[in-house]
């Protein structure tokens, strides 16, 4: 029991030291803050950009969260028509900062195709008349769901297979190594593109599973190497001597010591997943309309030459997000293993 408490105390101390090293660099803090902001935007997209108010009182009736709940009385109304009704008949409305939905085509009965940035549409409109800023906000959800979701799934699968292969060795190790080598023999993007072509209709959830099923090999390799390094440590031998079963030894004593490099590897996987999702959407094999995606916005820019706002703003957001993910991953690697 004493040895277990000592190891727990050492792990807590190691975690504190690692966090101290990570936040000692301002760029790491800035990158993490940016990613947290992108995550908040993805979670609160309906409260930031919507064609319905957050709350309103129209014709003597109060509506709470019509941006989330569909009210039949407001089905054919948007922020602009609701504001006009309030101006003539009284009431109030709490509008989101961006009073347009990601799929809203008409504003006050008019379609504003390919308008340059203005006071009405801060980042302009696309070739369907939709507000670019609203689509960037909602596109963060597709990027976040695919990036983080596929990372979590690939990390779970990679940790499980890599740990089992290294711990039991023999046939299990051979089978896992063959699987990893088979996946790494093909360029990941073209393998995913081929699978998406066969599956057809795409959704963020489908992309998440496809990317996770083809990108877990990196995490599996790291986990296997770390488990091989720790499986013969003295505390593992002591756990065997105490009669603990394989599951207890593996998940209580072996894997906790291997999680640092695994988290670093998985973090870099988020950036790759976001790039893959955007590239597939750009090519028409990713998230299908009307779901907003940064890659689709870039595809619109390709189809509408001269509309700089369709390329610059989504491109900057995508580049900044991927750059910050890589900075966080690099910072974590230096924090976990400062000797590198």
Distance (Å, rounded) from C-alpha 325 to C-alpha 307?
28
Residues 289, 191: one domain?
A: yes
Query: How confident is the model at residue 14, as a pLDDT?
Result: 63
For the chain, what is the domain count? 2
Alpha helical stretches, state H, 113-187: 132-168, 170-184
pLDDT at 69 over 90: yes
What is the token pair recorded at 178?
A: 């063959």
Among 74, 96, 131, where does a domain finish? Answer: 131
196 and 327 housed in the same domain: yes
- With contact defined as beta carbons under 8 Å apart, do 77 and 106 qualify? no
**Mean pLDDT across the stretch 307-311?**
93
SS3 category, 264 = helix
Strands 91-94 and 110-111: unpaired
Output the six-digit token pair for 9: 């105390």
Per cent of the chain over pLDDT 90 is: 46
Query: 59-63, 200-204, 239-243: which has the minimum mean pLDDT?
Result: 200-204
Q: Are residues 115 and 189 in the same domain?
A: no
Q: Convert 279-291 to b/e letters by CB count within 10 Å (16 or more is b).
A: bbbbeebbbeeeb
Q: In angstroms, rounded to a whole number, what is the distance separating the alpha carbons of residues 205 and 207? A: 5
In a shared domain, residues 146 and 290: yes
Asked which of 106, 131, 156 is the last residue of a domain, the reply is 131
Residue written as tokens 């291997």?
A: 258
Q: State whether 297 and 311 are in the same domain.
A: yes
Longest alpha-carbon distance in the chain? 82
> How far is residue 55's CA from residue 76's CA, in Å, rounded to a whole number?
16
Q: What is the mean pLDDT of the segment spanning 167-184?
A: 88
Q: What domain range is 82 assigned to?
A: 52-131
Is the confidence at residue 338, as pLDDT, over 80? no
The model's pLDDT over 84-113, given as tens digits with 9 standing for 90+, comes to: 999 998 999 999 999 999 999 998 888 999
d(CA 140, CA 35): 11
Residues 236 and 193 in one domain: yes
Statement to judge: residues 209 and 152 lie in one domain: yes
Position 215 scores a pLDDT of: 87
Residues 160 and 296 in one domain: yes
Domain end among 131, 160, 175: 131
The pLDDT tens digits for 122-169 are 999 999 999 999 999 999 999 999 999 999 999 999 999 999 998 888
Question: What pLDDT, on a 0 to 100 scale, did the predictor assign at position 1?
Answer: 46
Taking alpha carbons only, the member of 337, 219, 331, 202 closest to residue 272 is: 219
SS3 111: strand
Tell how strand 110-111 and strand 55-58 pair up: unpaired
With tokens 């989101």, the residue in question is: 96
Q: Which residue has the higher pLDDT, 314 or 19?
A: 314
Shared-domain flag, residues 34 and 78 = no
252 and 214 share one domain:
yes
The mean pLDDT of 50-57, rounded to a whole number, is: 96
Written as six digits, the tokens of 296 are 């689709």
**Secondary structure element (H or E) that encloses residue 56, with its range:** strand 55-58
Confidence of residue 34 (pLDDT cuts 50, 70, 90): very high
Residues 17 and 63 in one domain: no
- pTM higher than 0.95, yes or no? no
Q: Nearest to residue 164, comparing CAs of 227, 77, 103, 118? A: 227
Q: Give the CATH number of the domain where residue 256 resides.
A: 1.10.3720.10
Query: Residue 249: its pLDDT value, please?
Result: 82
Looking at the structure, do residues 195 and 112 belong to the same domain, yes or no?
A: no
- Does residue 114 surpass a pLDDT of 80? yes
Q: How confident is the model at residue 8 (pLDDT cuts 50, 70, 90)?
A: low
How distant, in Å, are the alpha carbons of 14, 167, 198, 254, 325 from that of 8?
Answer: 10, 22, 48, 13, 29
């Amino acid at each position: 029991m004493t040895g277990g408490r000592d190891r727990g105390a050492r792990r807590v101390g190691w975690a504190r030291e690692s966090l101290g090293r990570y936040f000692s660099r301002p760029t790491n803090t800035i990158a993490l803050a940016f990613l947290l902001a992108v995550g908040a935007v993805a979670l609160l997209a309906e409260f930031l950009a919507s064609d319905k108010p957050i709350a309103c009182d129209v014709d003597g009736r109060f509506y709470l969260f019509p941006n989330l709940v569909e009210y039949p009385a407001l089905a054919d109304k948007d922020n602009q028509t609701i504001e006009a009704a309030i101006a003539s008949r009284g009431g109030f409305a709490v509008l989101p900062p961006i009073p347009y939905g990601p799929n809203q085509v008409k504003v006050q009965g008019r379609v504003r195709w390919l308008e340059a940035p203005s006071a009405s549409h801060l980042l302009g409109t696309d070739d369907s008349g939709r507000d670019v800023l609203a689509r960037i906000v909602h596109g963060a959800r597709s990027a976040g769901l695919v990036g983080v979701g596929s990372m979590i799934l690939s990390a779970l699968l990679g940790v499980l297979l890599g740990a089992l292969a290294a711990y039991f060795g023999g046939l299990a190790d051979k089978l896992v190594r063959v699987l990893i080598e088979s996946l790494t023999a093909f360029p990941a993007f073209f393998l995913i593109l081929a699978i998406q072509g066969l599956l057809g209709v795409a959704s963020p959830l489908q992309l998440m599973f496809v990317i996770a099923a083809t990108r877990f090999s990196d995490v599996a390799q790291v986990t296997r190497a770390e488990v091989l390094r720790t499986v013969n440590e003295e505390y593992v031998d002591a756990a065997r001597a105490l009669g603990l079963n394989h599951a207890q030894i593996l998940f209580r004593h072996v894997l906790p010591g291997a999680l640092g490099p695994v988290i670093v590897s998985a973090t870099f996987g988020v950036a790759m997943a976001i790039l893959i999702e955007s590239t597939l959407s750009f090519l028409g094999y990713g998230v299908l309309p009307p779901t907003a995606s940064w890659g689709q916005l870039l595809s619109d820019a390709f189809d509408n030459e001269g509309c700089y706002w369709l390329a610059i703003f989504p491109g900057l957001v995508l580049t900044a997000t991927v750059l910050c993910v890589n900075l966080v991953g690099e910072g974590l690697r230096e924090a976990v293993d400062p000797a590198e």
